[in-house]
Chain A
């Protein structure tokens, strides 16, 4: 079946460095993508989204890039801080109400 998945289960970066979290999707009909952050014991928290008619979208310290040719999505976090430590999920919305989540990447910020 078609799914959303992540390349790496764990990413460790130094505080202050930039982080890049990747996600691959297989449904070429997908037209809406979202990144969520989940801290331990909490629900997913919206970070940023992007529609398929865009290649890039920027927020505060975060940038999402969408490459529809290779069905790839990435989340860039600039100048990572200890509070960025969490599991990051990409999710796909494509015409249905519910979102399809990927497996998650655990981002670890080292001091």
Chain B
């Protein structure tokens, strides 16, 4: 069964540094997403990406964040100047169509980001 993959599984960085989290969505999917989950809390939507541009973003997704699809397979989340409160699990997801419109979103295993 096809699956979403993410690397690295755990990333430790110092406050103020930039990190790039990587995802490989399912190959025939058109919509890509990033979510985050702070320890013990609910999963929160960050951004959706379609047709090489941001489709929607939440209030969390400010200028500190950016997304990119640098090639035909990878989808990345860049966090500039990381803060302690950016420590969380970051999940990538993908779907055939817009996820809020009845299309199942498939989630990756997540990257645990620890900012020290």
Question: Which residues of A line the B interface, CB within 8 A?
Answer: 32, 34, 36, 41-46, 49, 51, 89, 91, 93-104
Contacts and interface: CB of A to CB of B under 8 A. Distances in A.
B65 interface: no
A65 B48 CA distance: 28
B110 A99 contact: no
Contacts of B106: 46
Interface stretch (B11-19, B39-47, B74-82): B39-47
Interface of B: 4, 31, 33, 35, 41-48, 50, 55-56, 58, 91, 93, 98-102, 104-110
B41 A103 contact: yes
A70 B100 CA distance: 22
9 closest A-B pairs by beta carbon, nearest first, are A98-B45, A93-B100, A43-B107, A97-B48, A101-B43, A97-B56, A96-B100, A101-B42, A44-B107
B91 A101 contact: no
Contact of B102 (A43, A93, A103): A93
A42 B109 contact: yes
Contacts of A51: 102
